[in-house]
Chain A
Amino acid sequence: MRNKLMVGMAALMTGPLLAQAATLDDVLENDSVRCGVNAAQPGFSALNDEETYLGLDTDVCRAVAAAVLGDSEKVQFVPLDSVERFTAIQSGEVDMLSRTTTWTSSRDTGMGVNFTGVSYYDGQAFMVASDLGVQSAQELDGAAVCTQAGTTSELNLADYFRVNDMSYDPVIFDAPEQSIIGFEEGRCDVLSSDASQLYAQRMQLSDPESAEVLPEIISKEPLGPAVRQGDDQWFNIVKWSLFAMINAEEYGISSTNVDEMLDSEDPNIARILGQGDNYGEAMGLEADWAYNIIKQVGNYAEMYDRNVGKDSDFAISRGLNALWTDGGILYAPPIR
């Protein structure tokens, strides 16, 4: 009895120190990556009929699982709302956050998290009812605006209306579902959020034709995965998992041709697929880390097209999210 007590006390004393240990070890021990995602944001993270999370954000989690554990299905998705998300990553409840989270200086420097890159370049926009006859966001003086609590949208909104010397009534909800109901039932004239989310929410309206998204984009919203600060190894793994997908698209490696590409003469492709030198070793991974990502999840284009792009309901064009070689700003450092 006394011994048990002593062990308990010792565990209590050292517990917080253990939590500081490498995230990679925790992930290997659990044999799954705990990933904080949206509960319901079609295109980025939403449950399908088989109760599986699908979307661009969830595929980023799967890529990390493929790189670390060799199996993209070894992910434990933790749905978080926008208010909970930072506390969840800070406290170690999740290993990584991939939840349409905007990379800003204050979040990157003051909240104990590090953003590992940009998985989707977004911007904030406005959706209004078509029958209002509003053509531009400049005509929104005095409008009631629905948006979500604890988001950068809430801040951008205040800035935009102040700069343009207009007034507005903020109607702030915790969950995006409530914002849509508020918009449909007329509690607010305008729904404001990241453009990608607005297109998805428009599809959820009972009559999508009754609303339109205004052309103005009022902010920069680089969305990306984030990890806890202070674990550089894990930071590198999450960062390079995304870079591997972007590099794969650039060099034309996809889930369908990756096996043929193993024999490629192109040294760039050989390096990505771990033929020859092992570029995963320094991160604590196997040589086939990128191969697993591409084989099981696909390259960036495949991920984009099936979730939000041309093969999805939303059909959002690549725009800024095209490769730098195709007129976009997607650019990954080389693997070598």
Chain B
Amino acid sequence: MSVRPNARPGGQKPPFWRDRAKRALIFQLLLVAAVAAFLLYIVGNTQANLEARGITTGFGFLSNTAGFGIVQTLVDYSSQSSYARTFLVGLLNTLLVGGLGVLAATIIGFTVGIARLSPNWLLARLANGYIEIFRNIPLLLQIFFWYFAVLRTLPSARDSLAFGEAVFLNVRGLYLPEPLFESGFGIIPATFLVAIIASIVLVVWNKRRQDATGKRLPAGWISLLLIFGLPLLALVATGVPVTWDMPALSGFNFRGGITIIPEFLALWLALSIYTASFIAEIVRSGIQAISHGQTEAAQALSLPRKLVLRLVIIPQALRVIIPPLTSQYLNLIKNSSLATAIGYPDLVSVFAGTTLNQTGQAIEVIAMTMAVYLTISLVVSMFMNWFNARVALVER
């Protein structure tokens, strides 16, 4: 039996600077203290300097009158509204283009990604060409392409392209008729809601019935019929209580109806098409990650091809697809801040741009803007993580 030479008799503890665990703890505490002191110093120094230079600080400016106009507002806004309102208007415009962009990019991306694997030679080549072109051109250039090269070549307001005297397209944007709902219209969303609830009940019942008896109804088709058929039936039954506000040329521009500004169209197209090319590659890699043996095994059970895809391949592929897909969604939302390059009134343009300049309060405005993007990204991440956990492989 060997005795360690430095072992102390009687189990006496070494001093704390010889104890590795305690030393590590002390160093970590010191580091935390240093970081905290540094942050405190930065904040204090900033405050002192802002005060010394007579720059207004604080968030009081949010209740001041903004005094400038914004071309696209989803909520009531005028130049008499407050800066807090411009913040809201910008935030909603960002969410609008981000939300619709995620939707369109997902649809295009999945379509192209699956087309890329198609046995049809032409279709697969086309999909491949799409991916290689749009993935490799910088996003800002694509935004400029859609805005300056495509939408700016449209005719002027007076020579608009007209589609049936209801829809007009010109260099100022796309003009659509706006539905105005009369009294009694409330029944239609109500029937829509009823149809959705009925569909959910049907699907759950169908699944239980299948588990018990092995028989199943085409629940998907029945639900679709319910969700669209019932409100339509209600619409006809109530005598269509909708009038249309048609856009019409008066003075300089079209008045009435809904206007979709070209800045929005250009940004939305560019973001969707660019991000879709990445999503397509993610979808392709996800499907290819599933070993061919899975398909063969499913076929050996004599499952029809449609069910092989739906029950075997896609659920496994989704597990590979979702984590990188989340990153693409986050990229799309953050990239929407390029809006400022073409004058789409998003959060960066109206709040971190005009508002910052009118108030001169860079620190507050930029901090708020960064907090918004951080929050949006974290919420999207949380949702996608939850979704990922749901489809994740349940190991037995």
Residues of A at the B interface (CB closer than 8 Å) are 13, 16, 20, 82-83, 86-87, 90, 106-107, 109-112, 132, 140-144, 149-151, 154-155, 157-159, 161-162, 168-174, 178, 181-182, 185-187, 189, 228-230
User: Which of B49, B52, B356 gathers most chain A CB within 10 Å?
Assistant: B49
Q: Are A110 and B360 in contact, with the CB atoms below 8 A?
A: yes
Compute how far the CA of A120 lies from the CA of B350 in the bound complex, rounded to whole angstroms.
29
Interface residue stretch chosen among B23-31, B115-123, B182-190, B338-346: B338-346
> How many Å from the CB of A135 to the closest CB on chain B?
15
Whether A141 touches B45, Cβ cut-off 8 Å, given contacts A149-B353, A150-B357, A174-B341, is: no
Nearest CB of chain A from residue B355's CB, rounded to whole Å? 9
Q: Which residues of A contact B152 (CB under 8 A)?
A: 181, 185, 187
Stretch in contact with the other chain, from B225-233, B249-257, B313-321: B249-257
B69 within 8 A of A: yes
A178 & B343 in contact (Cβ 8 Å cutoff): yes
A-B residue pairs in contact (CB < 8 Å), sample of 28: A82-B357, A83-B354, A106-B359, A106-B360, A110-B360, A112-B53, A132-B252, A141-B251, A149-B340, A149-B354, A157-B69, A158-B68, A158-B69, A159-B67, A159-B79, A162-B79, A169-B71, A170-B71, A171-B343, A172-B345, A172-B349, A181-B152, A185-B171, A187-B172, A187-B262, A189-B252, A189-B253, A230-B52
Closest 3 pairs (CB-CB, A-B) = A150-B357, A158-B79, A111-B360
Report if A87-B255 is in contact (Cβ < 8 Å); known contacts: A112-B53, A171-B71.
no
A168: chain B residues within 8 A (beta carbon):
69
Q: Mark B327-352, 1 if CB is under 8 A from A, else 0.
A: 00000000000001101010001000
Q: Is the CB of A155 within 8 A of B357?
A: no
B358 CB contacts on chain A under 8 angstroms: 106, 150, 155
Total number of B residues with any Cβ neighbor in A under 8 Å = 42
Report the bound CA distance from A261 to B262 in whole Å: 61
Q: Which residues of B contact A169 (CB under 8 A)?
A: 69, 71, 172, 253
Is B194 in the interface zone, CB < 8 Å from A? no
- Tell me which residues across on chain A come within 8 A of B357, comparing CB atoms: 82-83, 86, 149-151
Which of chain B's residues has its CB closest to A86's CB?
B360
Assuming the contacts A154-B68, A155-B68, A158-B67, asked whether A229 and B253 have C-beta atoms less than 8 A apart, the reply is no
Known contacts A155-B358, A174-B353; A144 and B253 CB within 8 A of each other: yes
User: In the complex, which of the residues A112, A132, A154 contacts B354, with contact meaning CB atoms closer than 8 Å?
Assistant: A154
A162 / chain B contacts, CB cutoff of 8 Å: 78-80
Complex Cα spacing A263 to B136, Å: 71
Within 8 Å by CB of B250, from A110, A142, A161, A189, lies: A142
**Within 8 Å CB of A142, what residues of B?**
250-253, 255
* B356 and A83 within 8 A (CB): yes
User: CA A87 – CA B357 in complex, angstroms?
Assistant: 9
Q: Which residues of A contact B251 (CB under 8 A)?
A: 141-143
Q: Binary interface profile of B, 237-279, with partner A (CB < 8 Å = 1, else 0)?
A: 0000000000000111101000000100000000000000000
